[in-house]
Amino acid sequence: MLFAFSFALFSLAAINPSTVSASEIARIEEYAGSVSLYEKSLDKTAPVRMKGRSLQFGDRVIVPEGAWARLAYPDGSRVLLKERTELLLEEEKLVSLAKGRAFFRMLFQKMGRFSVRQGNAVIGIKGTTFLVDTSGSKTEVFMKEGRVEVLAVKGQFKRYKRSIMDEFEKYREEGVRALEEESAAFEEYKRQMEKEFIEYVKAFEIEAGRGVSIDGTEVRDVKIPESVMDEFRRFEESLDGAIR
């Protein structure tokens, strides 16, 4: 399954496609704290005061410090917005993460792909569970399930292949541990390695169990921290409770 970048309690009947208005994209299923909503149709921002709040094209969900919000789509897909996060609903299947941290569990998309836009990257999705965490020019993407494709909006990504990190670990294990003392030698070694292990690409894929860090146009593989895996587990447990 491929994906492209763009994420209690009211009854399930409330998000049944037959009850959703033609202009509605999703609803705020659950929230805590001072969550607010910019409504494009009214050109104003107001506090969210009830669960089940309808979201339409151009709306922006704003989650300040100490708050969170969970969005529900008509097909059962869910997005959890953590504190200090802003999410813009650009189109039916395209969202932009202006800043912050969002967990996505997107069900398989029968028609087209769901996309998440962040900076110069667009993540294409057909069905998966993943986290997008953005701060300034840096974005981290961690894949729990499925697979996504990341597309550069402009130019190409400078992608550091996993091999360079594997070689670095091997380099350390062979005895070069005092990097402060060997910094000049290592920098030269790294420059030579980069000639072989850097590629320039318009798009790349992230598979389940993998993570990447995107800083501007530079992309590096990163491990998924155990703390993030714990957050994934809590996210999925909260969804199990909401669906029952």
Q: Say how far apart CA 156 and CA 131 lie, in whole Å.
A: 23
Rounded to the nearest 5°, which phi and psi values hold at 137?
-85, -5
pTM of structure: 0.78
Instruction: Answer whether residue 122 shows pLDDT above 80.
Output: yes
For residue 10, the model assigns a pLDDT of 27
Residues 71 and 137 in one domain: yes
Which range is most confident: 30-44, 155-169, 189-203? 30-44
Residues 14 and 90 in one domain: yes
Query: Which residues constitute the domain of residue 191?
Result: 160-200
Q: What is the DSSP string of 134-186?
A: EETTEEEEEEEESEEEEEESSS-EEEE-HHHHHHHHHHHHTT---TTTTHHHH
Residues 17 and 76 in one domain: yes
To which residue do tokens 């709040």 refer? 53
Residues 143 and 191 in one domain: no
How many helices and strands (H and E) does the chain possess?
3, 20
Residues 70 and 150 in one domain: yes
* pLDDT, tens digit (0-9, with 9 covering 90-100), for 38-89: 999 999 999 999 999 999 999 999 999 999 999 999 989 999 999 999 999 9
CA 136 to chain centroid, in Å, comes to 14
Instruction: Answer whether residue 6 shows pLDDT above 50.
Output: no
Q: Which amino acid is at 162?
A: R
For residue 160, the model assigns a pLDDT of 86
Token pair in block for residue 213 = 């860090």
Q: Say how far apart CA 79 and CA 128 lie, in whole Å.
A: 11
